[in-house]
Amino acid sequence: MQTKPKNIPEEAPAYPQVRMRRLRAKTWLRDMVQEHHVRPADLIWPVFITEGTNASEPVASMPGVERLTIDRLLESLNRANDLEIKAFALFPVVPAEKKTMDGREALNPGNLICRAIQAIKKELPEVGVITDVALDPYTTHGHDGLIHDGKILNDETVEVLCEQSLIQAQAGADVIAPSDMMDGRVGQIRSTLDANGFTDTAILSYAVKYASCFYGPFRDAVGSSGVLKGDKKTYQMNPANAAEALREVALDINEGADMVMVKPGLPYLDIIKSVKDTFKVPTFAYQVSGEYAMLRAAAANGWLDYDAALAESLLAFKRAGCDGILSYGAVDYARLIQKNK
């Protein structure tokens, strides 16, 4: 026996009195009753920064994505800002000679990421700068933390992450985004920032970061794929776990996270919805490199319309409850919106 969904009253009229297609018959009416929208201002554009001047390097596994020197980056951010994208997530491509076992370059106030923050804030003071806090771009082993006898050290790593967060805040970062998945790091980073006068610097925690196969192209882009020893399953989450994600988010909120992130995105829409429904805090998702690469590859083979697939995928994030979305296709989408105005 069929029953009506709980949100539909028993006395609700049915076909033929109700014809759902009436609201789909005209473009203006479809647009008027649309429940969710994605604006360029909802998007965060992740960018890769490399050393040098006046240069760009394509990322082979991510068509359309480039590693940019700071001067070329500023040109790209100006164009993105004109398209109403107002926030950017920065990721450094650290030269091999500056990588060490302990990732000490992460604590250099004159490192690539700090110089990029300063340049952006001078050129575009009104945009949001979000910085990654983790050691993997800086280590010779490709892990997010310090290692001893093959084990990723939690508390010792957190101490370094606090220093890394502080130098990024001092350089001008608006949002610190720890992506390392060490236990307790949000609370200690918050305490460090507050103790040094950065009470207004926000924390976007990668609260739910799964040990996913979808990160491959990103590791290619930052140069960590060839150096990674083993996997990250002892600190990133098991893709099979959902209840654990809510525990992670609860802990980070209690420690002072202003916003929380789920990563990857599309394979974890159920997690995004659970987080938003449970906590009702600003919830973000990362449409990661593997997701972007799949769209590009399918489009290159003529199997998908890239623009339509990108727009639909971003809409899925909003429908699941996302306030903000990190996407390598952010500029592509913003151009599409502008074109269709």
What phi-psi label fits residue 150: left (phi over 0), alpha (psi between -120 and 50 degrees) or beta? left
Cα end-to-end distance, the chain, whole Å: 48
Going by C-alpha positions, the residue among 119, 292, 144, 123 that lies closest to residue 206 is 144
* 209 is annotated as an active-site residue: yes
Q: Choosing from 99, 232, 263, 276, which is the catalytic residue?
A: 263
Strand stretches in the chain, DSSP E = 43-49, 56-58, 66-68, 87-92, 128-133, 147-148, 151-152, 175-178, 202-209, 259-263, 283-287, 324-327
Q: How many CA atoms lie within 13 A of 227 on its CB side?
A: 21
Query: From CA 146, how far away is CA 131, in angstroms rounded?
Result: 20
Neighbours of 162 (CB within 10 A): 20
Whether residue 13 has a cis bond before it, omega within 30° of 0: no
Going by C-alpha positions, the residue among 129, 123, 39 that lies closest to residue 84 is 39
CA torsion, points 271, 273, 277, 283, in degrees to nearest 10? 90
Contact between residue 52 and residue 284 where contact means Cβ atoms under 8 Å apart: no
* 263 is annotated as an active-site residue: yes
Amino acid letter at 230? G
Which residue do the tokens 């040990």 mark?
A: 211
Query: From CA 223, how far away is CA 41, in angstroms rounded?
Result: 30
Going by C-alpha positions, the residue among 225, 210, 4 that lies closest to residue 136 is 225
Give the three-state DSSP class for 325.
Answer: strand
Query: From CA 143, how far away is CA 186, in angstroms rounded?
Result: 19
Q: Choosing from 98, 122, 151, 209, which is the catalytic residue?
A: 209
Residues annotated catalytic, as ranges: 209, 263
